[in-house]
Structure 1
């Protein structure tokens, strides 16, 4: 075989027939994913619902089904930015085939994704979530009886250097200059003097969301991340079916909202999603960690949401006083304590810590949703909900193909071939004995060698 050399310069073809174009390599995971979306008429229903948000004439925009497929690719390929998603789709023939583009057609760029996301309202994203949730129910992956609720932090696309005062719009440097002038009587200090003054002043240096906000992303809030850093953030909260690991509700709130103030909204959103998905399932049990424990939250979940709660009580000093509270609230508190300390309560807490945390691992750690590159609560909600839709799709794909992501399907194939190799290495000598054209003396020799091995 002769050595092949890469052509340094070549003249491009003026016209290439489609017969000469190379076919895209098959991807078993994405082919089955496309088949699943076609079975539930995903594109047809989204296009019908999104028609009022487009003009009758003009250049054709990006189809909603293609937009959601590109976001799904970001989840399956662990790509957080839209530029990365657009580049990956343009670079891969199999992904272009998933989107429905021929080899001579360009795939959408990141700006088209942004325009389509802004054009499609939250109702279209909710519809996509409900369609996939119904698909999980049709495949027997939705129980809906017991929900586990937990929250995590999403890093906002804004820096603490961009915060300004809400009252007058001063940034941190202008705020320090005013303090410096009030205490020293001097104006126009140097940067070095400001740093020494800021380091040595005894007044409070804490910044609160009550007085400060980000100039680039006003919806984000200052808060402490899971790793201990202070950053501008959002709060994402999932309601997960503890039996099947399907996300029933994926909500995004302001980063300064406490767990006890959002759990009722998340559970109500889950109940609405179950109803709109066409199921008769009802939420009967809610499981959460001790950060969600409060008398008001327990009372609302049990009396308004009609759900049995399993929320452990944090350690508190002293005895509780019930003389200034209603008997209904005390009853909710004691029922929750009795439920939590039972055998089922301990079992559900183990399931919650395993399965709800797993959804955050898939969405945020390996799904590209931990760091948001968008600004505004609604945009972040759309992006996070799209990742949750992809997660539920992965649950259906795991039942159909044995893998919830394309990389794991490749791992399964590798394991299957390796096991086949081990099997063949052990049984190949015996299989060769069965060849009818083998001489009897050779059969006897190979049989002895096989037994000896």
Structure 2
């Protein structure tokens, strides 16, 4: 055990206030961080597949127009995509957080190709980057990554899982305006309250009137928030009403590789155009594996989802177009009357029910829950 301050004086302490920068520092003397580790291996893989070169070819046409117009040079698009990878891999949900992490880490600086003396891109670079490039470029870059995963055996494409979630939008219900007149919700309610004889100068009275009035409904067709026009009024995970988005992803259940991802409207049903999204994912997997799509025959053996994705007509199209098993439970199984369904829909429901009850189907549902 330590016996007072005398023993502690044997150790040299670091006093942050006493630190003084050297006048001259050789580049080779700067700290570089460990040479092995995840990001070093990832950089090695990306360099082996010429990730930077492929990204440059995808983005080149969108950067030519800005050449020679003044201002600082644009950030290398390959660096921006790598920073997005960092955000995804480390679960960082904001541009500011990603920028701070990249600036603060020696190993990530090396991954991005930045020396310790160089400034890494700040959060505003993400906004410029997203505005400059169309969605098709981001999709093409995603396919470049998928090809790399396939080359390293991380894209099997035999069993796909689909799931969606709910995220709160960067907008509030208090900022709603009518789509046609741009009248704010509060002004709209005050107008109704005035017609009903309520004192519009009393906010509490107007609020009570709004809560009690008949036909009170906030329709997404009629109302929006100008701060985020794509946001929709809907229920959050805790059951409260708010402005929301609905992100959805399709993954390879064997490896966890994300095949497709999109942010859907918050009021969109899971089953709406389900077959379109599934068939596009199946065709992408087949393209990555060098296989031509043929109706009723596919490399993809199964598609797994929760009961919210069950729709007899959609299941029938998926099964017939791709030939895959649909491991999707029926939330209305107890009340559903098969006689009310057409022959194809009835057969699709039976196939899905058998798949869910099978041993392999239960295993796939368990795997889907992990992603």
Q: CA deviation at 1:105?
A: 0.8
- 2:78 is aligned to 65
1:198 aligns with 2:198: no
- Of 1-10 and 135-144, more deviation after overlay is shown by 1-10
1-structure distance, mates of 2:83, 2:32: 21
Structure with a larger share of its residues in helix: 1
Equivalent residue, structure 1, for 2:221: 210
Q: 1:321-363 CA deviation, whole Å, 9 max, x = no partner?
A: 44xx6xxx42342243145225x7533443343333322xxxx
Alignment of 1:93-132 (within 5 A): 93-132=106-145
- 3-state SS of 1:134 partner: helix
TM-score (norm 1): 0.71
Instruction: State the partner residue of 1:355.
Output: 367
Residues 303 and 10 (structure 1), Cα distance of their counterparts in 2 relative to 1, 3 Å cut? closer
Cα deviation for residue 3 of structure 1 reads: 4.3
Alignment deviations for residues 224-244 of structure 1 (CA, whole Å, 9 cap, x no partner): 122212221222222222333
Deviation at 1:8, TM superposition (A): 3.1
Aligned to 2:5: none
Distance change >3 Å, CA 157–CA 350, structure 1 → 2? farther
Deviations 1:383-405 (A, max 9, x none): xxxxxxxxxxxxxxxxxxxxxxx
Cα distance in 2 for partners of 1:278, 1:317 equals 41
1:315 has 2:327 as partner: no
> Can you give the 5+ residue segments of structure 2 that lack an aligned partner in the other structure?
1-9, 292-297
> Max radius of gyration: which structure?
1
Alignment of 1:177-196 (within 5 A): 177-184=190-197, 188-196=200-208
Pairwise CA RMSD of aligned residues? 2.6
Q: Which of the numbers 22, 25, 44 marks the counterpart of 1:35?
A: 44
In 1, the alpha carbon distance for the partners of 2:260 and 2:24 equals 51
Deviation at 1:276, TM superposition (A): 4.0
- Pick 1 or 2: higher relative contact order, CA cutoff 8 A, min separation 6: 1
1:301 counterpart residue number? 318
* Match in the other structure for 1:249: 260
Q: How many residues align?
A: 351
Pick from 57, 64, 72 the counterpart of residue 55 of structure 1: 64
1:79 paired residue number: 92
Structure 1 ranges of 4+ moved more than 6 A: none
Give the whole-Å Cα distance in 2 for the aligned partners of 1:348 and 1:160.
44
Structure 1, unmatched stretches of 5+, are 360-453
